[in-house]
Structure 1
Amino acid sequence: HVRTITADNGAEFCAHTQVADKLKTDIYFANPYSSWERGLNENFNGLLRQYIRKGTDLRTVTDKQVADVERALNARPRKCLGFKQPSVVFNELRRTA
């Protein structure tokens, strides 16, 4: 259920054509130093920082901590989803696909 992806210019997106083909979607790249072009990403980073502080050595973050943060963020109602939880919307979309 991905419509588009907006990525930054990092090396982690070097296989973007394969990802686009698999997901049947378009991938766009933000201009360097233009974080406002990736608004959803920046918003999510802010939410993530409530659980993992900026500058944290990610090698010290356990898989359990990541799973706990994932569960917490997916259970958090979002205005853009009509104040539904992302996990609920995702499951609704899976049932209709």
Structure 2
Amino acid sequence: MLLMRKKYKQLTSEQRYAIYLGIKNGDSQRTIAESIGVSPSTVSRELGRNKKKHGG
């Protein structure tokens, strides 16, 4: 049996910037996710990654 793995796509720099602006404007992670076409968990993971990089 051949297992099919889901192919993941990296966020574009535009999507990352949209997340940044959304958070800066006080938007919810769900709202940001809907506006850029990704799941809320994707936004959450991206924020977690950046928090670690920027000393948060």
Q: Normalized per residue, which structure has more strand? A: 1
Structures share fold, TM-score greater than 0.5: no
Q: TM-score, with normalisation over the residues of structure 1?
A: 0.20
Q: Normalized per residue, which structure has more helix? A: 2
Structure ID, larger Rg: 1
